[in-house]
Amino acid sequence: MPYACMAWHDRGMTMPAPEPIRVLVVEDERGLRLGLAALFETAGHRADFAADGRNGLALALADPPDVLVLDLGLPGLDGLTVCRELRERADRRIPVLMLTARDALDDKLEGFAAGADDYLVKPFAGPELLARCLALAQRHRSGAPNEIAIGSLRVDRRTGDARRGDRPLELPRIPARILLALAEAWPRTLTRSELVDRVWPHEVPPSDPLRSHLYVLRQALDRGAERPMLVTVHGVGFKLVADD
């Protein structure tokens, strides 16, 4: 197997037991499907599988999973098309984690444009995939179909409205977009350039564009809070941390 990770089973056993999730894996490599079946089942989760894009899309629409793990290069419909179709046709937001080969890494931007929520580059470690799937499932599980939940933070991905606990965050447009980008990437760190790409996707951003908007966001989100949620990762970028 090209993505060997011998510790899958051990790691699965020793992790604290999170709520079981149901994952749909759309992947044409049989060896990878078998590895992922063992990974999810050993950790107490349920995984279903499709070997091509058309079946994967049909299964996801018929019985929406908590997380869709979607290979980019697939026979039939490719991963980007599946993702686009899913976004158009599904009646709820299904979080999508895209798998991509290293030589197709540029496609990750295209993948996000098609509506993927996260991505992993092959070869990847099993525990990393599992952790990303659990994070995706958790932040989509608040009950409201378009709401992202991270600790006490709620962000509506359509309107950009956000609140922390009972306190609504009155955010101007750009800080609200920054918060949504960070919430969609959670728990990952976004680099400055990733963040700029997501906040100004179709425009040339102003110079040093983030500084003042991050200040406004930090004031609104973390002022007076015991545990700040917006964290600067020095030399890398920014991320949100859950406050629970």
Binding site for Ca ion (CB under 5 A): 28, 71, 73
* Cα–Cα distance measured from residue 22 to residue 40, given in angstroms and rounded to the nearest whole number: 9
Q: Which is nearer to Ca ion, 27 or 194 (CB)?
A: 27
Exposure class string for 220-241: b at 16+ Cβ within 10 A, else e: bbbeeeeeebbeeeeeebbbbe
Least separation in angstroms between residue 28's CB and Ca ion is 5
CB-wise, 73 or 187, nearer to Ca ion?
Answer: 73
How far apart, in whole angstroms, are the C-alpha atoms of residue 179 and residue 135? 17
In the complex, what is the shortest distance from the CB of residue 63 to Ca ion, in angstroms, rounded to a whole number?
Answer: 23
Q: In the chain, which ranges are continuous DSSP H helix? A: 8-14, 30-42, 53-62, 79-89, 107-113, 126-139, 173-185, 192-199, 211-222
Minimum Å distance from CB 53 to Ca ion?
Answer: 10
Minimum distance from residue 86 beta carbon to Ca ion (Å): 18
Our CB check for Ca ion shows the closer of 11 and 33 to be 33
- Single-letter amino acid code for the residue at 71: D
Within 13 Å of residue 70, how many CA atoms lie on the same side as its CB?
36
**Cβ closest to Ca ion, residue 28 vs residue 48:** 28
Q: Which residue is nearest to Ca ion (CB)?
A: 73
What minimum distance in Å lies between the beta carbon of 143 and Ca ion?
A: 34
Identify which of residues 43 and 60 has a Cβ nearer to Ca ion in the complex.
60
- Strands across the sheet containing 230-233: 190-191, 237-240, 230-233
Tokens describing residue 127: 């525990």
In the bound state with Ca ion, the residue whose beta carbon lies nearer, of 64 and 73, is 73
Nearest-approach distance from CB 177 to Ca ion, in angstroms? 33
In a 3-state reduction of DSSP, which class is residue 238? strand
